[in-house]
Amino acid sequence: MQRLMTSAVARLGIGIFSLLASGAAGAEPKAAAVPSGPGPNLVAASGPVDVVAGDPRGPADLTICSQNLKLFGTLDEVKRRNPRFTEGELRQKVDDLVRRFHVVRCDVIALQEVLAKNQAEGEAALKPLIEALRARSGRSFEARVGPPGDGGMALGFLVAQDRASVLNMLSYARVELPKLTPKQRPRIFSRTPLEVQLSVKSREGDLTKVVTVVNFHLKSKRGGEGDPTGLEWETFRMEMAEGFRKIIEVRHQDAFASGSSILVVLGDRNSDFDVASAKILEGSLNLASFQQEGGCRVSKRGVPVCQSGKSMPQRLFSVVTSNSEVATYPGTFEYKGEYSWLDDILMPAESLPYAWVSPSSEAKYNSGVVSQPQGASDHSMVWAKLNW
């Protein structure tokens, strides 16, 4: 049984968060281009992929995926936003999503845009996905959903019970974000980040790892005409990125100090990989960089323009865009013919070797993008396989 406890554990200079604690729960060769990136030539039905040829560690121990669901909920909840949406369309969307999840055999799926009035409703909304996954793969998944934020959208997880046990769950609720300017009103996350801590036993051998996965969804550009800065809420995303990274750095100091535990940060930035909020999220810049005397400003497109020498040591690294094969794809989201890398999976340097295609292939990541079937979502799914 889940229980919600308000925690004042660490204000971190950015407020408090809520703790949701829960009890523990109970191969084919990978082709370089499968699954592929956005476009009509995608191959997303070639069968599950588990093994990288030549990896002495054998099959991947854990496959982590991230998918923006594009307003997914119960039929009644979706119809509140789209009265013409039908039960048949919902069934098709479920089938399309499960085809994505199955092609790379996702073990842990971070979800954004779960429509719900509360956590129980969010978990109920995910039951059709769990049932469809069981029917297609024979595997059992459990759902975990955090408290809903703006627009009744929550973040959640589906966790395969044959690969991982949930040790606890944490919602970064009611966090007061750092301010870009001192006189502005306090703000909180528009969609509350959600963390799960997992116990995962290796497929070959008895080595058990603690894997922490933190799911985020920054504010979108929707309603950008209401942003007085004219930057489509980029400064708000910058504040969220700073607050989010600070929590991660304080809570998971061990993961930044050694590879004994594994940290994965993933989700939907709602901004491209090269803009200010993305740079703050990865830690090569921080919010102070854009304050008075910080040496950086934000261009009209949201890209940081900095004086020389202002960059800092990066803290989180993408295992998706750093993949040379994946980098040839145009992005994970398309709007009016323009692609952007909104969706990503990041890890601290100490955790990166777990995502390599083999122990000796430094910086070559076992990761990718799935964009078919297109009816699943307007966002592609990103994934990474971990091995130890």
pLDDT tens per residue, the chain (388 residues)?
Answer: 333 333 333 333 334 333 333 333 333 323 233 333 333 323 333 344 555 667 888 999 999 999 999 999 999 999 999 999 999 999 999 999 999 999 999 999 999 999 999 999 999 999 999 999 999 999 999 999 999 998 899 999 999 999 999 999 999 998 999 999 988 999 999 999 999 999 999 998 789 999 999 999 999 998 888 888 889 999 999 999 999 999 999 999 999 999 999 999 999 999 999 999 999 999 999 999 999 889 999 999 999 999 999 999 999 999 999 998 898 899 999 999 999 999 999 999 999 999 999 999 998 999 999 999 999 999 999 999 999 9
CB-based contact 17:174 (threshold 8 Å): yes
pLDDT of residue 204: 84
pLDDT of residue 345: 98
pLDDT of residue 50: 57
Q: Which residue has the tokens 């993408």?
A: 318
- Report the alpha-carbon distance of residue 294 to residue 291 in Å, rounded: 5
pLDDT of residue 314: 98
List all residues 6 or more positions away from 340 whose beta carbon is below 8 Å from its beta carbon: 271, 272, 331, 332, 333, 334
Which pair of structure tokens corresponds to residue 146?
């955090």
- Residue 58's alpha-carbon distances to 20, 29, 55, 215, 318, in angstroms, are 35, 11, 6, 28, 23
pLDDT of residue 205: 76
pLDDT of residue 29: 29
pLDDT of residue 230: 86
CATH match for 3-386 among 3.40.50.2000, 3.30.200.20, 3.60.10.10, 3.40.50.300: 3.60.10.10
pLDDT of residue 20: 37
pLDDT of residue 330: 94
pLDDT of residue 178: 97
- Report the alpha-carbon distance of residue 126 to residue 157 in Å, rounded: 9
Q: Which residue has the tokens 């991660």?
A: 248
Helix (H, G, I), strand (E, B) or coil at 174: coil
Q: Which residue has the tokens 């998971």?
A: 252
Which pair of structure tokens corresponds to residue 29?
């060769």
